[in-house]
Amino acid sequence: MTIDLICLDADDTLWHNMRHFNATEDALLDMLRPFAQAQVTRERLIACETRNLPLYGYGAKGFTLSMIETAVDLAGDAVTGAMIEGILAAGRALLAHPVELFDGVEDTLRALAAKAPLVLVTKGDLLHQESKLAASGLGDLFSGIEVVSDKKADTFRALFDRHGITADRAVMAGDSMRSDILPALEAGAWAAFIPQDGAWSHETAAAPDTHPRFVQLKRLGQLPDWIATLR
């Protein structure tokens, strides 16, 4: 079988991302330690993020707003201007962190690009995602960039239509079972799950028990060889 399109997630598939969000979250836990135990703060923050996703979408800016809301929730009238400024500073640092590629990513993308056009499919703030891609130095390897508000089966169906291919000739690879793998499979594509440590709980989901178009890989570098086996 010929694969005509290879779709790739960005954050925690091509470069490190959650390690920076987790470090920022740890800073919030320390800041709010006088008001709540770390686990309570973490649970409140997760609930706040989940509640705010339909309003703010994915990314560092929405995360920063959810951190401020969590601080107000837990500290009440004790919240100070200095605390809010501390949270905003942490959010700005999150937006400005350096892009750290996973080992071998550029060589792997070049090998993949020799097989089929590459499309980056990522969620989050448009400006932030564009700046990370520019900083990565990988932009020229992609034939298309799709920054979407969420990843659903219909997202992938529309993407395949725009590129003039059928789903069974497309591959999606990423670290999120919820956003990268399950909707791509539902749309009819092949999907390669490449999990990373420290994944966001919101992106977890049960893997398919058995599925003829699904594989779990240890690293992105295994993707070209897997694609070569597809029949």
Q: What is the pTM of this model?
A: 0.91
- For the beta sheet containing 170-174, the strands, ordered from the edge strand earlier in sequence to the opposite edge, are 144-148, 118-123, 5-8, 170-174, 190-193, 214-216
CA-CA distance, 57 to 144, in Å (whole number)? Answer: 22
Q: Give burial (CB, 10 Å; 0-12/13-18/19+) of 94.
A: buried
Which band of pLDDT confidence, cut at 50, 70 and 90, is reported for residue 110? very high
101 in helix, strand or coil? strand
Domain layout of the chain by residue ranges: 5-15+100-229, 18-96
Please tell us whether the domain made up of 5-15+100-229 is placed in CATH 3.40.50.300.
no
State residue 2's pLDDT score: 87
**Topology given in CATH for the domain delimited by 18-96:** DNA polymerase; domain 1 (1.10.150)
Q: Is 11 helix (H, G, I), strand (E, B) or coil?
A: strand
What average pLDDT does the segment 172-181 reach?
96
The continuous run of DSSP H or E covering 150 comes out as none
- Cα–Cα distances (Å) from 229 to 89, 117, 186, in that order, read 48, 18, 21
Quote the pLDDT of residue 1. 66
Per-residue pLDDT tens digits for 139-167: 999 999 999 989 999 999 999 999 999 99
Instruction: Name residues whose C-beta falls within 8 Å of residue 84's C-beta, 6 or more positions apart in sequence.
Output: 68, 71
Residues whose CB falls within 8 Å of the CB of residue 199, separated by 6 or more in sequence, listed in order: 12, 18, 175, 176
